[in-house]
Amino acid sequence: MAKKDEKSKAEIYREERKARIAKANKKNAKKGGGKAGSVIKRIVAVVIALAIVGGGLFYVLDNTGVINKMIPAVEVGKEKISSASYYYYYYLAYQQAVQQQESYSSYGFNYIDANKAPDEQDYPYPDEDGKTVTWADQLMSQAATRAQTVLATYNEAVKAGVKLDDDEKTQIDETIEQFKTNASEGGYSVNAYLKMMFGFGLKDLKKQLEVEQLASKYQEQLHEDQHEAVTEEALQKELKDNANDYGLATIRYYAFKYDTLTKGENESDEAFETRTKKANDSVAKTAEDVFKGIDNEESFIDAINAYEAEQTDKKSDEETAEATDAADETAAEEAENSSAEDAEEDNKEDEKEDATTLLENAAYSSISSAVEKDGADWAFDSARKKGDLKFFKGETGAYIVYVASPRSLDSHSVTVRYCLIPYNDEIKAANDSDERTEAKDTATKLYDDWKKSGNATEDTFADLVRENSKDTSTSEDGGLIDVRLNKMVSAFEDWCFDKSRKAGDTGVVEAEEYGYFIIYFVSNNKDDLDWKDTATEKLADAAYDEMFTALLADDGDYAITEHKKAEQRISNDFCKRIKRNMALSNNQSV
């Protein structure tokens, strides 16, 4: 039996989980004018970008255009922010945008074009007045905001007695060493290199990094303080005031979508509206007729299958009749054959649609997207119970909704460790069967060897993860994470949230999006409710933002005064450098 002053394993896990939650809060901290992100990661990103100097991206590294660090670009309270520091923030903002574009590219979203200067392209979002601005305008705004936020937070950190620890100082030293390496590879002294890039030397760079790191650390502490300050009373009030923002429900639904009609060339608005309403009413009447034959989930599925089959037969008959009317027997035969094939495909689709109409563990927003607001309001109503059925006539269609599981606030986190063995280095879906087979073989062997080792414990599993997982965001911690519903790929979640799952369970799971996961189930955290986690984050964010709004207020100690001419001159200089580099790059490629 454990001694009274010893902590139980459960208590240790709870403390570790609390630490992980705090760590996650840091990772999720907002960037820019609000909560800080990882300052060292941002600086390292700039270092990596500057490392290309030797490879030929920044060809223009002469004394022309060197930023005069004595000229202030902005003032924060009574303190001046030099043009060099402002240029540094401008460059950071630019590099961050370019990095974001790399992520957005996979979704086909054009955020920023690195092959154009910022003043040659529009920012994808309007400003607060609804006006279109260029990327150069946006970067100037971000640089000024960042300068204000960093200086204000740094000064407050100093007042609060916050200091950098040894690890944080080491991170700064390592970043400086990387700058030195880059300068050497480019044939420059580090001071010359930095002055040409930012207008200040090594001493000023180190001070800049220390200021940013301390400001970032203090912002994280403030955000953690706001999390700790959220009370149970505040959570219950938030739940009462915004009930639909919390909880999950499972529904089965079917949408009878209205046809999109085209207004006739000479048709009046009134006539078109009447025709549209008549068509919509016809669809709604059909949906209501189907609904009348439903009294449970099984009859719901049967009714929809019968409706789909009827629609398929109707389509087949119409196509065959059209071909026959054209007195083209060959066409009629082809149409009939084609219709038969379509029917077969549609039957397959019927099976899929039965599955896709089931919306499991869905938030209000997801249900609203599926069956419109009225359907979501009904499904999330506290009076709902399993088996409830409803017909709705909406704006874009008519819907039949069945409640498979009423709204619940019981969902909670689970803690697992995992080792990712991806199909490929890009960590994406397999390109071919060979990649899938290789990943499966690797994961299976690692798992089997560990299971047969005679020491298959959580600790040794953590070692397996550190040595083999390709997910670098979690491998250092032995793959330890808290999982919540609707946050991970479905195959991973299905395993983690299986009702039979218990501490010590292990397995190998294939997720077609990435590869194979070897998973160790650590704990079922029934006291860590999802809705409370979400509400706590919301309330903490609001309190934090309110605090920062007051800190940076126009009538406060850190009010910002911008010197627009100096800011514009810095932006113009940066854009000219980009244009010269692009021109030189194009000339070299010819």
Tell me what pLDDT residue 584 has: 79
H or E element that contains 303 = helix 297-325
Token readout for 278 is: 């008549």
Tell me what pLDDT residue 90 has: 94
Tell me what pLDDT residue 519 has: 98
* N residues, the chain: 590
Q: What confidence tens digit (pLDDT) does each residue in 81-123 have? A: 999 899 999 999 999 999 889 888 877 889 999 899 999 999 9
Token readout for 426 is: 């890009």
CA 317 to chain centre: 47
Return the number of other C-beta atoms located less than 10 Å from residue 58's C-beta. 19
Q: Which candidate, 502, 566, 540, places its Cα nearest to that of 235?
A: 540
Tell me what pLDDT residue 229 has: 97
Note whether 316 and 340 are within 8 A (CB).
yes
Angle (deg, nearest 10), helices 9-27 and 202-229? 130
Tell me what pLDDT residue 313 has: 82
What is d(CA 124, CA 127) in angstroms, rounded to the nearest whole number? 10
* 3-state class (DSSP) for residue 513: coil
H or E element that contains 121 = none
Residues near 557 by Cβ (< 8 Å), separated by ≥ 6? 77, 152
Token readout for 512 is: 């077609």
Amino acid letter, residue 272: F
- Upper half-sphere CA count for residue 315 (Cβ side, 13 Å): 15
Q: Which candidate, 81, 71, 77, places its Cα nearest to that of 211?
A: 81
What is d(CA 420, CA 510) in angstroms, rounded to the nearest whole number? 10
Burial profile 136-148: b = 16 or more Cβ within 10 angstroms, e = fewer: bbbbbbbbbbbbb
Q: Which candidate, 181, 139, 149, 158, places its Cα nearest to that of 50?
A: 181
Note whether 217 and 161 are within 8 A (CB).
no
Token readout for 20 is: 């992980």
Q: Which candidate, 298, 331, 305, 60, places its Cα nearest to that of 197?
A: 60
What is d(CA 77, CA 392) in angstroms, rounded to the nearest whole number? 58
The angle formed by the CA atoms of residues 216, 217 and 218, to the nearest 5 degrees, is 90
Mean pLDDT by 10 residues, the chain (590 residues): 41 51 43 46 56 40 50 93 92 91 83 94 92 96 95 97 96 92 90 85 93 95 96 98 97 96 94 96 96 94 90 77 59 54 50 64 96 97 97 96 97 98 94 96 98 96 97 95 95 97 97 97 96 97 95 95 94 91 71
H helix and E strand count, the chain = 17, 11
Residues near 134 by Cβ (< 8 Å), separated by ≥ 6? 118, 119, 120, 121, 122, 123
H or E element that contains 313 = helix 297-325
What is d(CA 305, CA 57) in angstroms, rounded to the nearest whole number? 61
Cα–Cα distance list, 113 to 102, 163, 351, 373, 435 (Å): 10, 39, 44, 38, 33
Tell me what pLDDT residue 7 has: 45
Tell me what pLDDT residue 6 has: 44
Q: Which candidate, 569, 443, 490, 415, places its Cα nearest to that of 10?
A: 415
Burial group, residue 315, by CB count within 10 angstroms (0-12, 13-18, 19+): middle
Token readout for 223 is: 């955000």
- Upper half-sphere CA count for residue 218 (Cβ side, 13 Å): 22
Domain regions of the chain by residue span: 29-229, 248-408
